[in-house]
A and B are shown apart, each in its own frame.
Chain A
Amino acid sequence: MRGAWLIARKDLVVLLKRSPGTLLALVGYPLLVAVLVGLALEGSERTPRLALVNEDTSTRTVLVGSERLSADDYADRLGESVDVADLSRTDAASALEDGRVSAVLTIPAGFVADLQSGGARPPRLELATSRRDPLAAEAIERRVESALFGVNQSLSTDYVSQVRRLVRILIDGGQVQVFGEGGKALGLTATRQTVADTQQALRAIGQDPLADSLDPLGRFVDQTTRNLELAGQVAESIGAPIELEVTSRQEQREPLSAFGLAAALTLALGLAAALLAAGALASERDDGTLPRLIRGPVSPLALAAAKMLVAAALAALVALIALVLVALFTDIAVDRWHLWPLAVGLAGLSFGGVGALIGALARDGRSALLITLMVGLPLVFLGIVPLEGRVETALQTVGVAPVFDAFQTLLIEPTIPERFWWTLGVIAVSSLALWLLSGLSIHRRVRA
């Protein structure tokens, strides 16, 4: 392994002291791509900007549950989910046109009045989204729908509650006050009692046939009372047919930000390590030194190991620096510093193995770098996208999917599961396989 060490040291000298531009390109390009991916993913997590045009200036209010809401309150509730800017109709249209907002929500005049009509005139909101920013527009649509669902559910509950109260008054009697209409109601129970009292009084004066003629009225009141009791329960179940119980996980980290960081890290580390290893190995052929090395001083396996180690060390160093910067300057929680060097080191070896294999198979340095980019980019992206079946199994053999999984585990999981160590094992085995394949490819190339 003395030859491997000497070649690794030579590569470090050449890259760090003699070719800083090349090093910057081979490491800077993946980092730049990673930053862009990270920003794109973070962007999807950002609160979208919405213009609100409130044309209902009536200041009328509607009773929702136990509180009274005006159109302004309705707008405030939406503002909890999206970044709302109050604008006039003209300004909102202009803002949507030039991309300052992703959507315009209009509360038309008479909205609260329609709401108070109890369904006679269904209230409507108007949402116009931007074609320029379809992702943000879709996010806003979802959030507005979600906010509306919440408000509508409150309204629905209130309607049902009022219907039940009305039913109760119809049965028991009392003061009616529904949707602004008021009055005194006798109630079915009192009606039934009145019918019974009347029948008893008629029988007392010998008017039995007349008393009997009131029996159908008594049965109708009984039947109606029973049906209304049932109607109250049905109305309640229609008002909230399915309840959604949302439970937050304990020690929850920022999943989407962590997903973005894990993806960016996989991309940067993967491309940097693969490009460095491929370039370093292919340059031996370009310089004509490959046959000179392989004929004695350095075995093909030692040469592949040297290239993988240098690529892994440099890429892992860059990844760790990036992690430190993320920890210092963002809200993403990065810890477990004792495990990160192991994870990024193994990942660097695995990706370096892919690069070494490509470097051994390619005809020259330029082809090696081009092929690495052409193969590496889709491979890393496929590793980040959740897949099942054969494709994922194939990806695991080159260590892309397990690397992403390991990074996600370190960033997201509250405790390190046993699966994490298994994943690192898979990465180590794939690195070993790639090392052997690279050595074999170098041997075949040179001996041919």
Chain B
Amino acid sequence: MATVLEAEGIVRQFAGAQAVAGVDLAIRAGESLALVGPNGAGKTTLLRMLAGPAQPDAGSIRRPAAGVGWAPQSAAVYPRLTVRENLALFTAMEGVADTPSRVEELISLAALDAYANQRAETLSTGTLQRLNLSVALCNRPAVLLLDEPTATLSPEQRRRIWAWIRTLRDDEQLAVAFSTQSLTEAAREADRILVLAEGATVFEGRVEALADLAGGDPEAAYLGLVGSAE
């Protein structure tokens, strides 16, 4: 599979402290990559730089021509607009041709039909997160970047969100990179894991390889890698 998003030597500092310290990564189409690490490891900053709002102090990022979809941890939508109005606005702003049909497509894809005319501020957390993800998908991106997409969801809501993300990845060959603090979630949903500690990559590979570092126990291996930071 072709690499769709590539970053080399990304560095970002905040007030003299290194939030991201020379991270390299590459994501291929149809692949999912989990960014795992404790709080303050640099996951959100790295995703923000990959998505575009933040700029790296050093390093380079190569994004696909089709664009990058980004869903921040808190739903970035307009609470007083309806689901349909939010999707129509962001789809129009992305310059997508035939906005109305793309909006209906997204509503159907995210199973938001029942909520299409409801204001975003009235939606449950899980439904709001589906809207948040739908907005990230409105320009048919080649890569989907998700910042802790299920952090605030119930187990059932989590299950439904991951099922949908897997469908997107498998059916549309979407590359997915997501951050999480749950190694279990990362092991279940990702093809590869990138472990960050204090802004630096301390492990990158399949979860089996991580487990091999600690005699088949990925949890122990993870704690061994990030122990002091955690």
Contact = CB atoms under 8 A, between A and B. Distances in A.
A295 B145 CA distance: 13
B92 A292 contact: no
Interface residues of B, number: 26
B55 A447 contact: yes
B54 interface: yes
A287 interface: yes
Contact of A292 (B76, B81, B85, B119): B76
B78 A293 contact: no
B51 interface: yes
Interface string B51-66: 1111100000000000
Interface string A414-448: 00000000000000000000000000000000111
A447 B175 CA distance: 25
Contacts of B93: 2-3, 6-7, 293, 297-298
B145 to A, nearest CB: 11
Given A10-B89, A295-B51, A2 B95 contact: yes
Contact of B80 (A19, A291, A447, A448): A19
A18 interface: yes
Contacts of A7: 93
The number of chain A residues touching the other chain, given as a range, is 20 to 34
Nearest to B72: A288
B212 interface: no
B176 to A, nearest CB: 18
Interface in A280-315: 287-289, 291-298
Contacts of B135: 292
Chain A contact residues, majority secondary structure: helix
Chain B contact residues, majority secondary structure: loop
B53 A10 contact: no
Interface string B84-115: 01000110111100000000000000000000
Nearest to A448: B54
A18 B81 CA distance: 8
B105 to A, nearest CB: 19
B183 interface: no
Contacts of B80: 14, 18-19
A24 interface: no
A448 B80 CA distance: 28
Given A10-B81, A10-B89, A14-B81, A288 B94 contact: no
A306 B75 CA distance: 23
Given A287-B79, A292-B72, A292-B76, A6 B53 contact: no
Nearest to B80: A18
Contact of B48 (A13, A291, A293, A298): A291
A293 B76 CA distance: 10
Contacts of B123: none
A336 B95 CA distance: 43
B7 interface: no
Nearest to B54: A447
B66 to A, nearest CB: 12
A291 B72 contact: yes
A288 B75 contact: yes
A205 B76 CA distance: 133
A13 B53 contact: no
Contact of A295 (B52, B78, B85, B92): B52
A287 B94 CA distance: 19
A167 B94 CA distance: 101
A14 B121 CA distance: 13
A10 B79 CA distance: 12
B222 interface: no
A6 B92 contact: yes
A446 to B, nearest CB: 5
Given A6-B92, A13-B81, 12 more contacts: A3-B93, A7-B93, A18-B80, A288-B75, A288-B76, A289-B77, A291-B76, A292-B72, A292-B90, A296-B67, A296-B94, A447-B53
The 8 closest A-B pairs by CB, nearest first: A297-B93, A295-B52, A291-B53, A288-B76, A18-B80, A295-B53, A292-B76, A289-B76
12 contacts: A3-B93, A6-B89, A7-B93, A288-B72, A291-B72, A292-B70, A295-B51, A295-B53, A297-B90, A297-B95, A298-B93, A446-B53
